[in-house]
């Protein structure tokens, strides 16, 4: 909740209106915040401490699919759900690899990477951007050719905001089988969750790349005895048929005890609904909705894990999840490996490649407004984050820029030195941060496009 409201919200229908907003902003000194799907974890697309205007690109959401060349132009005001829906309406064997939540916006998501259920087989969204239309700080409309390879490199994973307003991305679509298999399986502490989660860490990034087993850890009430316990919730997509999946699971991860009855075969587009939590047979039309699926108050943080967390480390996590104040907290373990590692760390600005077993997203939600409630929950997640330090990547302790977290460092309102921004910059972007600063200095030396964690230019 921010006391500061935007001076104006601009919802352009045409690029020229974005150019006009940029000129007006320069003349009036009112900062611009750019909003696509509005899912920024810290609300940086619509919250500011200084007078600001929002350029909300929600009306720029056209999607044109070229099935012959397996490409698409997607405007950044579209959501992921709208993109998936439109692709599926044209072809049953084409898809796109990006995030799970259908109301996430294309603009922010693809600018920061874009991890989803097919990422072990097809890597992340930003790896499939092949052209873009961007309006820079001078109001010029640029494409890949006119912006040059440095800027085009920067907007693929370097995070939203810093380099201009992206109006559209051209993406290459991926080919998928007509039928995929999904499963959700929960194991509690009484069902050896600790040992199974421990074992998962040795399997998740190495198993067949058509399989992505995401793992959510939460405190739950056991259906057997009504007592609180820890639930390890495996939610998975296999790009193939169940009869091919089962032998893989039997061979590599028998500890989970997956059986055919746990699995459901469906077209890929229905799996999008499945992972978004919609009941079976929900109309695909829900994917076109822009009403966020998130609850009002939450705080998130992230980490990367390069060595399996020992069982005693996991037991410490259970203690945190068992605390009474956090009925609505979870850790999401998202496996890496597979095709994510086919790219070098510097191929595009998104740097998290070989060496990562999985990424952790820590999330805590609450419903009641007020400082006390928010402090209680935020303190809890910060304590958990401190506890995790020995078990996650170090020097730097890396984080995912799309899981924005202002705790790891911020820019000043005025100039920010390279040294100061390095504190968060290297965590999100590793060594690519240096090149991003160089590109920023070149294309936006006056730091027109900025927020609390935008790439600063060298002064």
Q: Which residues are catalytic?
A: 403
- Nearer to ligand FDA by Cβ, of 106 and 249: the residue is 106
Is 456 a binder of ligand FDA (CB under 6 A)? Answer: no
Which three-class secondary structure state does DSSP give residue 171? strand
65-84 binders of ligand FDA (CB under 6 A): 76
Number of residues that bind ligand FDA (CB under 6 A): 34
CA 380/CA 346 separation, integer angstroms: 35
What minimum distance in Å lies between the beta carbon of 184 and ligand FDA? 16
Verify binding: residue 405, ligand FDA, rule CB under 6 A.
no
Q: Three-state DSSP class for 329?
A: strand
Alpha-carbon gap, residue 273 to 288, rounded angstroms: 12
Q: Using CA atoms, how far apart are residues 335 and 320, in angstroms rounded to an integer? A: 22
Instruction: Name which of 116 and 308 has its Cβ closer to ligand FDA.
Output: 116
Find the binder of ligand FDA among 12, 35, 87, 232 (CB under 6 A).
Answer: 35
Q: Give the shortest CB-281-to-ligand FDA separation in angstroms.
A: 23
Among 10, 39, 352, 377, binds ligand FDA (CB under 6 A): 39
When the beta carbons of 41 and 249 are compared against ligand FDA, the nearer one is 41
**Minimum gap (Å) between residue 37 Cβ and ligand FDA:** 2
In the shown chain, the binding pattern of residues 356 to 385 toward ligand FDA, with x for contact by CB under 6 A and - for none, equals: ------------------------------
Q: How far apart are CA 233 and CA 226, in angstroms?
A: 18
- Residue 123 phi/psi, 5° resolution? 60, -155
Q: Within 13 Å and on the Cβ side, how many CA atoms surround 234?
A: 27
Residue 199 or 430 having the CB closest to ligand FDA: 430
Instruction: Give CA–CA dist 447/445, Å, rounded.
Output: 5
457 binds ligand FDA per the rule CB under 6 A: no
What does the chain come to in residues? 459
For residue 4, count CB atoms less than 10 angstroms from its CB and return exposed for 0-12, middle for 13-18, buried for 19 or more. exposed
53 part of the interface to ligand FDA, by CB under 6 A: no
Query: Which residue in this structure is represented by tokens 């994973």?
Result: 157
DSSP string covering 414-429 = S---HHHHHHHHHHHH
Check: CB of residue 323 under 8 Å from CB of residue 380: yes
Nearest approach, Cβ of residue 316 and ligand FDA (Å): 26
Q: What mask, x for binding ligand FDA by CB under 6 A, covers residues 240 to 279?
A: ----------------------------------------
As measured in angstroms, the least distance from the Cβ of 392 to ligand FDA is: 18
Q: Which stretch binds ligand FDA (CB under 6 A): 65-73, 160-168, 174-182, 224-232?
A: 160-168
Q: Which of 161, 181, 422, 447 binds ligand FDA (CB under 6 A)?
A: 161
- Closest among 107, 115, 102 to 269, alpha carbons compared: 102
Q: Is 106:83 a contact under the CB 8 Å cutoff?
A: yes
Distance CA 263, CA 183 (A): 5
- Cα separation of 1 and 42, whole Å? 11
CB of 101 to ligand FDA, least distance (A): 3
CA distance 438 to 423: 17
Interface with ligand FDA, residue 57, by CB under 6 A: yes
Site string for ligand FDA, 84-123 (x = CB under 6 A): ---------------xxx--xx-xxx-xxxxxx-------
* Chain contacts with ligand FDA (rule: CB under 6 A): 33-41, 44-45, 57, 76, 99-101, 104-105, 107-109, 111-116, 160-161, 165-166, 294, 402, 451
């Amino acid at each position: 909740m921010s006391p500061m409201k935007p001076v104006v919200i601009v919802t352009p229908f045409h690029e020229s209106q974005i150019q006009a907003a940029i000129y007006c902003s320069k003349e009036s000194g009112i900062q611009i915040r750019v909003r696509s799907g509005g899912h920024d974890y810290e609300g940086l697309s619509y919250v500011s401490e200084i007078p600001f205007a929002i350029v909300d690109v929600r009306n720029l959401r056209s999607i044109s699919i070229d099935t012959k060349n397996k490409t698409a132009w997607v405007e950044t005001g579209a959501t992921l759900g709208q993109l998936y829906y439109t692709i599926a309406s044209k072809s049953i064997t084409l898809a796109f690899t990006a995030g799970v939540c259908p109301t996430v916006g294309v603009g922010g998501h693809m600018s920061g990477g874009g991890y989803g259920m097919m990422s072990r087989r097809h890597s992340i969204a930003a790896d499939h951007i092949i052209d873009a239309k961007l309006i820079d700080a001078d109001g010029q409309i640029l494409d890949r050719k006119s912006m040059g390879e440095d800027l085009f490199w920067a907007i693929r994973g370097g995070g939203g905001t810093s380099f201009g307003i992206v109006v559209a991305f051209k993406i290459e679509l991926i080919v998928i089988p007509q039928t995929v298999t999904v499963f959700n399986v929960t194991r509690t502490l009484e069902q050896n969750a600790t040992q199974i989660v421990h074992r998962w860490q040795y399997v998740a990034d190495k198993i067949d790349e058509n399989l992505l087993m995401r793992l959510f850890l939460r405190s739950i009430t056991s259906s057997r005895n009504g007592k609180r316990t820890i639930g390890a919730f495996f939610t998975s997509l296999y790009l193939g048929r169940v009869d091919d999946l089962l032998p893989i699971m039997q061979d590599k991860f028998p500890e989970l005890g997956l059986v055919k009855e746990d699995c459901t075969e469906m077209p890929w587009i229905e799996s999008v609904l499945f992972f978004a939590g919609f009941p079976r047979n929900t109309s695909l039309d829900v994917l076109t909705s822009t009403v966020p699926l998130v609850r009002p108050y939450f705080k998130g943080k992230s980490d990367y894990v390069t060595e399996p967390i020992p069982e005693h480390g996991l037991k410490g996590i259970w203690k945190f999840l068992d605390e009474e104040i956090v009925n609505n907290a979870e850790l999401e373990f998202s496996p890496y490996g597979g095709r994510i590692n086919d790219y070098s760390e510097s191929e595009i600005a998104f740097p998290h490649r070989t060496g990562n077993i999985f990424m952790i997203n820590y999330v805590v939600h609450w419903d009641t407004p007020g400082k006390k409630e928010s402090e209680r929950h935020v303190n809890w997640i910060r304590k958990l984050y401190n506890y995790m330090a020995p078990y996650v990547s170090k020097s730097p302790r890396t984080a995912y820029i799309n899981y924005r977290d202002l705790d790891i460092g911020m820019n000043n309102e005025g100039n920010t030195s390279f040294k100061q921004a390095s504190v968060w910059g290297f965590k999100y972007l590793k060594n690519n941060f240096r090149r991003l600063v160089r590109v920023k200095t070149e294309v936006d030396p006056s730091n027109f496009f900025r927020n609390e964690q935008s790439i600063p230019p060298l002064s």
